[in-house]
């Protein structure tokens, strides 16, 4: 809600009230369950489902947002720089926020919004190059949303029309389990599909690649079915559908790595041949997406755990690749200044980007913390702790502190002191610290 211009907001509120008043009954005649006549800010009212339809040529969209039951009336959505064309409720839109006249209710309440969106470069929305990137808090530039990662939503329908001839849009037509808003992504390009195989649980694993990228896709996907199978068998049932895999995306030069757009995660074209990147993004299906982070400061619960699990899975299914992964982590670790935040404690005040948390430290120090625990209690015991945590928290938001408590309960080893060394200390530890 920061940055809202209250004066402008109030003007639009009054305008919406005036428009709504034309057909409204007097407030005294309305029973208590009737919608309020004016928009009421209520950013705490959670979203439970999002249905989206886009025309990617016209850059128009329709969103049906279902809000949770709430004892308090009203609701608020982030709308970035969307142009709002229609809302089927009384609303007020100003400064990137949309407030709604919704009643308090014991049942979920749906609102439908028609809008236009703008192209966004620098990873802040839908790029003119055909891909989207909403992480960390840019979902409002593409559809009305809540960007806070704790507020998961299902996407019961996603549809794209207006895809140019000769191109393919790769995206999930639904995400049936709760996801952070930034999990949704699409990419539109001249895609072909490399079918890699099926896991024991029946999950189909593929890579969508562009012309000239088949060899890179084969290299990057060499052990991806085995990695995904290990994740399913070790951590528990995958929640985001029966067909998964990587999509090679035309990120701008210099952007490397991937993004956890499950079930079709994005991998920068330059990283397509890198098995570690695929394993990392796959692991986010359990940590980061499957279990959401409660606050941005719990970033290490997503990235440290995904980095650890990528190395751990590759250790099991392709030991030489796993060893190379840990070697590359060790090289990155040696280059991390000790003062970089890994696991700050701000109760939601930290800005993931501006405060420097989106750097290597949470990934690499987080991975080595969990590896230190694995070396202490046995990797299989830590696997069981991670599986226990996933069984308890999948579909919910969780904190790193809660993971530590589960590790202590399941393994009998309290990792708090080791976590202080790896995640809090102002000196970057060396591999093996706290053994």
Given the rule CB under 5 A, which residues bind Zn ion? 303, 306
* Nearer of residues 169 and 306 to Zn ion, judged by Cβ: 306
Q: How far is the CB of 362 from Zn ion (least distance, A)?
A: 9
* Nearer of residues 51 and 280 to Zn ion, judged by Cβ: 280
* Nearer of residues 48 and 397 to Zn ion, judged by Cβ: 397
Cis peptide before 263 (omega within 30 of 0): yes
What angle separates helix 400-411 from helix 360-377, to the nearest 10 degrees?
10
Question: Strand 125-126 relative to strand 132-133: parallel, antiparallel, unpaired?
Answer: antiparallel
In this structure, the number of other CB atoms found within 10 A of the CB of residue 418 comes to 21
Query: Please, what is the Cα angle at 111 between 109 and 113, to 5 degrees?
Result: 170
In this structure, the number of other CB atoms found within 10 A of the CB of residue 285 comes to 27
* Nearer of residues 98 and 313 to Zn ion, judged by Cβ: 313
168: number of CA atoms within 13 Å, CB side? 14
Q: How far is the CB of 283 from Zn ion (least distance, A)?
A: 8
In this structure, the number of other CB atoms found within 10 A of the CB of residue 58 comes to 11
* Nearer of residues 67 and 363 to Zn ion, judged by Cβ: 363
* Nearer of residues 89 and 264 to Zn ion, judged by Cβ: 264
Q: How far is the CB of 405 from Zn ion (least distance, A)?
A: 23
Q: How far is the CB of 302 from Zn ion (least distance, A)?
A: 7
Q: How far is the CB of 76 from Zn ion (least distance, A)?
A: 29
Residue 267 tokens read as 């991998």
Residue 133's closest CA among 141, 125, 142? 125
Residue 304's closest CA among 415, 175, 207, 146? 415
* Nearer of residues 54 and 182 to Zn ion, judged by Cβ: 182
Q: How far is the CB of 182 from Zn ion (least distance, A)?
A: 11
Residue 175 to residue 420: CA distance in whole angstroms: 36
Q: How far is the CB of 280 from Zn ion (least distance, A)?
A: 5
Q: What contacts 390, CB < 8 A, 6 or more positions away?
A: 235, 236, 286, 287, 290, 291
Q: How far is the CB of 303 from Zn ion (least distance, A)?
A: 5
Residue 140 to residue 214: CA distance in whole angstroms: 35
In this structure, the number of other CB atoms found within 10 A of the CB of residue 332 comes to 17
Q: How far is the CB of 97 from Zn ion (least distance, A)?
A: 29
Q: How far is the CB of 284 from Zn ion (least distance, A)?
A: 6
Q: How far is the CB of 400 from Zn ion (least distance, A)?
A: 15
* Nearer of residues 46 and 303 to Zn ion, judged by Cβ: 303
* Nearer of residues 178 and 303 to Zn ion, judged by Cβ: 303
* Nearer of residues 91 and 287 to Zn ion, judged by Cβ: 287
* Nearer of residues 91 and 265 to Zn ion, judged by Cβ: 265
Yes or no: say if 362 and 303 are a contact pair by the CB < 8 Å rule.
Answer: yes
């Amino acid at each position: 809600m920061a940055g809202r211009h209250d004066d402008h907001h109030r003007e639009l509120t009054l305008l919406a009230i005036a428009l709504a008043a034309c057909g409204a009954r007097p407030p005294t005649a309305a029973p208590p369950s009737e919608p309020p006549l004016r928009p009421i800010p209520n950013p705490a009212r959670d979203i439970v489902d999002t249905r989206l339809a886009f025309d990617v040529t016209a850059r128009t969209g329709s969103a049906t947002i279902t809000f949770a039951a709430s004892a308090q009336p009203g609701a608020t959505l982030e709308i970035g720089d969307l142009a709002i064309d229609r809302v089927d409720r009384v609303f007020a839109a100003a400064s990137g926020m949309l407030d709604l006249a919704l009643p308090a209710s014991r049942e979920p309440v749906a609102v439908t919004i028609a809008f236009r969106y703008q192209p966004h470069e620098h990873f802040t929305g839908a790029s003119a190059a055909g891909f989207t990137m909403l992480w960390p808090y840019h979902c409002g530039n593409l559809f009305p949303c809540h960007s806070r990662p704790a507020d998961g939503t299902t996407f019961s329908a996603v549809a794209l029309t207006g895809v140019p001839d000769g191109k393919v849009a790769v995206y999930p037509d639904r995400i049936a389990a709760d996801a952070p808003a930034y999990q949704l992504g699409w990419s539109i390009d001249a895609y072909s599909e490399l079918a890699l195989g099926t896991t024991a649980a029946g999950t189909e694993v593929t890579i969508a690649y562009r012309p000239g990228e088949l060899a890179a896709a084969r290299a990057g996907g060499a052990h991806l079915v085995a990695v995904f199978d290990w994740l399913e068998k070790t951590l528990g049932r995958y929640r985001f559908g029966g067909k998964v895999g990587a999509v090679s995306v035309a990120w701008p030069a210099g952007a490397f790595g991937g993004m956890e757009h499950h079930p079709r995660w994005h991998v920068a074209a330059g990283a397509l041949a890198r098995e570690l990147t695929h394993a990392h993004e796959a692991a986010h299906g359990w940590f980061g997406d499957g279990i959401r982070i409660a606050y941005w400061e719990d970033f290490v619960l997503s990235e440290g755990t995904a980095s650890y699990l990528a190395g751990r899975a590759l250790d099991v299914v392709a030991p030489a690749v796993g060893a190379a992964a840990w070697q590359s982590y060790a090289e990155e670790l040696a280059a991390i200044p000790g003062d970089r935040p890994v696991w700050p404690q701000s109760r939601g005040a930290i800005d993931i980007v501006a405060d420097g948390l989106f750097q290597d430290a949470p990934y690499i120090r987080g991975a080595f913390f969990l590896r230190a625990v694995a070396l202490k209690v046995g990797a299989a015991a830590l696997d069981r702790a991670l599986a226990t945590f996933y069984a308890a928290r999948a579909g919910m938001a969780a904190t790193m502190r809660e993971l530590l408590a589960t590790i202590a309960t399941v393994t009998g080893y309290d990792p708090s002191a080791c976590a202080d060394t790896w995640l809090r200390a102002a000196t970057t530890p060396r591999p093996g610290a706290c053994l």
